[in-house]
A = this chain, B = another copy of it.
């Protein structure tokens, strides 16, 4: 951020009076431009013991597989966002949706909120952001070609619960430590 989006003048990066964090503050109109984490909402959609995955047609991770998910938009709910992304990326619909996990990724200021549900009619077809869509059973999942660690983690939690006969709701975090190693701390709630 270089300029104030309100008045067009230059901003500086400083700690405003009464605050304890650096913010972008306009040098002319004094507007403080807060920046906050973004939510990525998505679905684990199941049909006959298989999970819907999408092969990414966009960067980052073009050509790798992911759960349908994307940035939540203003004026929608987390569940609406998850369903919209599932429809946009895979022309798929889910019913019986339940919250499955909330995973914060602080080093990139993202929060994943994933729902699980039933894929209607087992139907999917690639949307513009997907090269392919496919239903995979646990042993068919392309584990070595998943797009993001949080997707791998979500799927592992899902199948672990499924194989144990019941679902929990998970909350936690995945963050890179000083050596760039991903440290995962996710716990069942309740």
Instruction: Give A residues with C-beta under 8 Å from B.
Output: 1-11, 18, 21, 24, 33-39, 71-80, 98-99, 102, 104, 106-107, 109, 111, 113, 128, 167-169, 171-173, 175, 189-190
Most chain B CB atoms below 10 A, which of A21, A80, A104, A109? A104
Is A128 a contact of B36 with CB atoms below 8 Å? no
Q: Which residues of B contact A171 (CB under 8 A)?
A: 78-79, 98-99
A34: shortest Cβ distance to chain B, in Å?
7
Is B8 a contact of A1 with CB atoms below 8 Å? no
Q: Which residues of B contact A167 (CB under 8 A)?
A: 190
Is B6 a contact of A111 with CB atoms below 8 Å? no
Tell whether A7 pairs with B18 under 8 Å between CB atoms, given A71-B34, A75-B109, A190-B98. Answer: no
**Which chain B residue shows the least CB distance to A116?**
B189
A104: shortest Cβ distance to chain B, in Å?
4
Tell whether A36 pairs with B189 under 8 Å between CB atoms, given A78-B111, A111-B78. Answer: no
Tell whether A6 pairs with B7 under 8 Å between CB atoms, given A73-B36, A169-B169. Answer: no
A116: shortest Cβ distance to chain B, in Å?
10
Is B78 a contact of A104 with CB atoms below 8 Å? yes
Q: Which residues of B contact A168 (CB under 8 A)?
A: 190
Is B18 a contact of A8 with CB atoms below 8 Å? no
Is A102 a contact of B109 with CB atoms below 8 Å? no
**Which chain B residue shows the least CB distance to A76?**
B106
Is B33 a contact of A5 with CB atoms below 8 Å? yes
From B3, B98, B107, A5 is in contact (CB under 8 Å) with B3
**Which chain B residue shows the least CB distance to A6?**
B2
